[in-house]
Amino acid sequence: MSRRRQIYEGKAKILFEGPEPGTLVQYFKDDATAFNNLKKGTIVGKGVLNNRISEHIMTMLGDLSIPTHFIKRLNMREQLIKQVEIIPLEVIVRNVAAGSFSKRMGVEEGTPLPRSIVEFCYKNDELGDPIVGEDVITAMGWINPRELDEVMGMTLRINDVLCGLFAGIGIKLVDFKLEFGRYYTSEDDLQVILADEISPDNCRLWDSKTNEKLDKDRFRRDLGGVAEAYQEIARRLGIFIDPQQVEAQ
Ligand SMILES: Nc1ncnc2c1ncn2[C@@H]1O[C@H](COP(=O)(O)OP(=O)(O)OP(=O)(O)O)[C@@H](O)[C@H]1O
Ligand SMILES: [Mg+2]
């Protein structure tokens, strides 16, 4: 780790300069935060699990021709990614009412939505990531209409793929958050690609039969068994991680 120059330290990950120009190394920490950093903690082994889960999902999306930043996993906690200019939006997809949506709209958690809803939040911790409309995001120049079309198309495809993936392993994909970025290809073209991570840190995943929560809400709501829930997701996805190795890393 210390060999490389650190570019950014976030709440859950650290970005290092990659071996080639235009690449970064994404290091997954065990740190967990919630409620815009008010609640902090550690989930032992989370970084190892999220590295593997995000690798699994991004690889699957790549195989389905959805462009992502993922290049390859380097070790237990690190993956090589394409460096992008992050579009400062959190793209949230909701299939079932939960969390802030339930609060804001007065809809009971667990109510299936008549159709999937896509929301945008402006990525700005000081402002508490406020929800914003399409009009605002294009007017403010955070994304242009062509990019927004691409993001919407990719987001809906990703939702379809992930709903199917999780349904197949007995899990309801309640909601999730995506980040996209602008990638400058070697031909100097600009491409919008999926960035960041897809893991139980930014998805709500409920057991289909029991509705048991298998995601970061266990941490947010002090339900216990947080690491076990992440392990269960990895296990059902067919990812094998030697528990001894997880603890040692
Ligand atoms: N391919 C990429 N290129 C450049 N930056 C990226 C890429 N993928 C993710 N990022 C950014 O790297 C950071 C990852 O760290 P982390 O998720 O810990 O941040 P965070 O604490 O959630 O902060 P933020 O509010 O900036 O997302 C995020 O800022 C994310 O937007
Ligand atoms: Mg983040």
Q: Tens digit of pLDDT for each residue in 216-230?
A: 999 999 999 999 999
Contact between 77 and 51 (Cβ < 8 Å): yes
pLDDT, tens digit (0-9, with 9 covering 90-100), for 153-196:
999 999 999 999 999 999 999 999 999 999 998 788 999 999 99
Task: Among the bound ligands, name the one nearest to the CA of residue 84.
Answer: 1
**Which of 177, 36, 194, 167 is closest to 118 using CA atoms?**
177
Task: Return d(Cα 152, Cα 118) in angstroms, integer.
Answer: 8
Residue 246 CB neighbours (<10 A): 19
CA 213 to the chain's CA centroid? 17
User: Which amino acids bring their CB within 6 angstroms of ligand 1?
Assistant: 8, 10-13, 15, 24, 69, 81-84, 86, 123, 125, 179, 181, 195-196
Q: Rounded to an integer, what distance in angstroms lies between the CA atom of residue 157 and that of residue 7?
A: 31
How far is the C-alpha of 204 from the C-alpha of 215, rounded, in Å?
6
CA pair distance 198, 231, nearest whole angstrom: 15
DSSP annotation string for 100-163: HHHHHHT--TTPEEEEEEEEEEE--GGGT--EE-HHHHHHTTSS-HHHHHHHHHHHHHHHHHHH
Give 10 Cα–ligand 1 centroid separation in angstroms. 6
Of 196, 197, 203, best ligand 1 pocket probe by most atoms within 8 Å of the beta carbon: 196
**10: closest CA among 75, 86, 72?**
86
Q: pTM, whole model, 2 decimals?
A: 0.97
Q: Tokens for 15, please give them.
A: 């970005």
Distance in Å, CA 78 to ligand 1 centroid: 14
Q: Which CATH code is given to the segment(s) 85-207? A: 3.30.470.20
CA-CA distance, 218 to 214, in Å (whole number)? 7
Q: How far apart are the first and last CA of the chain?
A: 13
Whose atoms come closest to the Cα of 183: which ligand? 1
Ranges of each domain in the chain: 6-84+226-240, 85-207
**Residue to mutate (ligand 1; options 16, 40, 86, 124; most atoms within 8 A of CB):** 86
- Three-state DSSP class for residue 87: coil
Backbone dihedral angles phi then psi of residue 47, each to the nearest 5 degrees: -60, -40
- How would you write the pLDDT of the chain (249 residues) with one tens digit per residue? 557 899 999 999 999 999 999 999 999 999 999 999 999 999 999 999 999 999 999 999 999 999 999 999 999 999 999 999 999 999 999 999 999 999 999 999 999 999 999 999 999 999 999 999 999 999 999 999 999 999 999 999 999 999 999 999 999 999 999 999 999 987 889 999 999 999 999 999 999 999 999 999 999 999 999 999 999 999 999 999 887 777 667
Between CA 92 and CA 176 the distance in angstroms is 6
CA distance 147 to 65: 17
If one residue of 8, 25, 51, 125 were mutated to test the ligand 1 pocket, choosing by the most ligand atoms within 8 A of its CB, it would be: 8
Q: Domain 6-84+226-240, CATH 3.30.200.20 — does that match?
A: yes
Average per-residue pLDDT for the chain: 96
Q: How far is CA 106 from CA 93, 100, 247, in A?
A: 18, 10, 41
Tally: H helices and E strands in the chain: 7, 14
